[in-house]
Structure 1
Amino acid sequence: MNDARNPLVRLQDLQHFLADGTLEDNLHQQAAMTSALLGAASCSIMLLGGGDGDEMRMSVYARHGELPEAARQASVARGEGIAGRVLASGESLLIEDIAKSELASLARHPEAGCSLLCVPIRIDGKIVGVINAASCPGNAPFGETELRLLEVAALFIGKAIQVQQLQHLLDSRFAQLALLQEAQQKVGESVRTAYRNPEDVAKILARSFFREMTKAGFESAQIVSAASELIGQLNLHLHEKGQTGASRVES
């Protein structure tokens, strides 16, 4: 690879992964740092987006280096293509030469001599996406060292996403009060240590929202109406996010 440093030395670069700024900015920075870490020609981070459960699909949220247009525009389901297979299996993948691989027909750019890595990104054990890296044509293929480095990078990326999600949730005073009330019911636990998963925080907020509306005297039909409004706002947000993502990919 281009970067011939000892792998343990290269791992020191990962200390920069938990940077400040928006999630989008961080993901682009992490894609660039990962590419440099591996000596890769390109690196892309794909995250699950619209849909629900097994119907959710992945798309490219950040990238560094050149990607084929088909890869930039792709919306990938579980089991679909190389990235979709890694998403479904949860197993990292190393392909030394994509053109000679049995998966060549699934590659969007099966150039001879091109090496590929694909590793799942997890948050608390749940797969939320994958990170891909492709080697420079003419360079030595990726090996086990690069695969392990990318797996470590994927752990940092998952933690960075989780931290950003929690910071965004906790910006709300309502969220802070809801978490405080919940934590007070758990002897010996604090808000900081009791809830580290954004999904747990979201459920707590939902329960608190329901309790407060009930205490305020709202009827069941009115609470349902409020929930419907919340879903409507979510759909609008996802639609706007999808349009923004499409514009960003095109650029």
Structure 2
Amino acid sequence: MHAAHPPSFPLLSLQRFLAGQALAPDIDAQAALAASLVDAASCSVMLLDSPDDPGSSMRIHAHHGRLPDTALQAAIRRGEGISGQVLASGKAVLVTDIGRSEFAALARRGAGFGESLISAPIRVEGKVVGVINAANGAGSPPFDDTALALLETAALLIGQTLQLRQLRHLLGSGFARQAMLAETRNAAQDTRLAYRNPDEVARILARSFFRELSSAGFGSAQVVAAASELIGQLNRDLRAERQQED
């Protein structure tokens, strides 16, 4: 492993990350903070489509810096590529020179990038739900163990943020809270409101909405009418957003 200088004043960098994380409104901002923390040219946050499904794919949900189109569009399963191996093993990876490593055939590199990368698992309640990746810039020194430890810390804090954000949304809605609790009971899981991908939560709420309407005695026509109303509201929101953009 080549010697490399770590980001200047790691503890100060970590302090700035923590301060910025408290203000970051979204994961994109946190990806930028993580990139700054380890002095990376690019950083990406990948999350599973469905954390409870072993066959689920992982996609980029946020990133900072340029990334190859192949990386932005990729759907990675456990064991596929470097990120997929980190997802499957739950262990962080440090690569100082990708061209001379066992991962040489797996890397997706673009112009302007260096040869070093780090990748760490993102956990929620002990479960790996995604991966954070960072790549250095061309001509920059390779990452070292200090940078890897800092990225693992960022991954831990991002995982906590993912959970807290979702819990705030769910706890703010009595219907959503009851739907999630019912889902975990039906699945014979524990009844904590564990992190789930937003797409999966939406499907759970839709199933619960249908069950509630059915149990209340509404027929197919009324269920279709309710679904049509939801679609109508969505269309109105989309039109309003387009008008604001214009």
Q: What TM-score, normalized to structure 2?
A: 0.69
Work out whether 1:53 is the aligned partner of 2:41. no
Equivalent in the alignment of 1:197: 194
Work out whether 1:116 is the aligned partner of 2:113. no
The 1:149/1:52 distance shift into structure 2, 3 A limit, reads closer
Question: Could you give the per-residue CA deviations for residues 118-144 of structure 1, whole angstroms, max 9, x where no partner exists?
Answer: 100000000010000001111110000
Question: Could you give the per-residue CA deviations for residues 193-244 of structure 1, whole angstroms, max 9, x where no partner exists?
Answer: x956346xx8xx99xx79x96xx9768xx8xx9xx99xx99xx9xxxxxxxx
* Residues 3, 37 of structure 1: 8 Å contact kept: no
* Residues 47, 130 of structure 1: 8 Å contact kept: yes
Equivalent in the alignment of 1:155: 156
SS of structure 2 residue aligned to 1:59: strand
Matches within 5 A, 1:215-226: none
Equivalent in the alignment of 2:40: 40
Query: Among the aligned pairs, what percent are the same residue?
Result: 43
SS of structure 2 residue aligned to 1:70: helix
Equivalent in the alignment of 2:21: 17
Which consecutive unaligned segments of at least 5 residues does structure 2 have? 183-190, 232-246
Q: Distance in 2 between matches of 1:20 and 1:36?
A: 14
Work out whether 1:6 is the aligned partner of 2:3. no
Equivalent in the alignment of 2:186: none
Q: Distance in 2 between matches of 1:116 and 1:20?
A: 24
Matches within 5 A, 1:65-144: 65-109=65-109, 113-144=114-145
* Residues 18, 156 of structure 1: 8 Å contact kept: no
How many residue pairs were aligned?
Answer: 202
Structure with greater proportional helix content? 1
* Residues 99, 113 of structure 1: 8 Å contact kept: no
* Aligned alpha-carbon RMSD (Å): 3.6
**1:20 Cα shift?**
5.7
SS of structure 2 residue aligned to 1:18: helix
Q: Distance in 2 between matches of 1:197 and 1:138?
A: 42
Equivalent in the alignment of 1:29: 29
Q: Distance in 1 between matches of 2:51 and 2:156?
A: 24
**1:170 Cα shift?**
1.7
**1:5 Cα shift?**
2.2
Which consecutive unaligned segments of at least 5 residues does structure 1 have? 183-193, 237-251
The 1:75/1:217 distance shift into structure 2, 3 A limit, reads closer
* Residues 162, 195 of structure 2: 8 Å contact kept: no
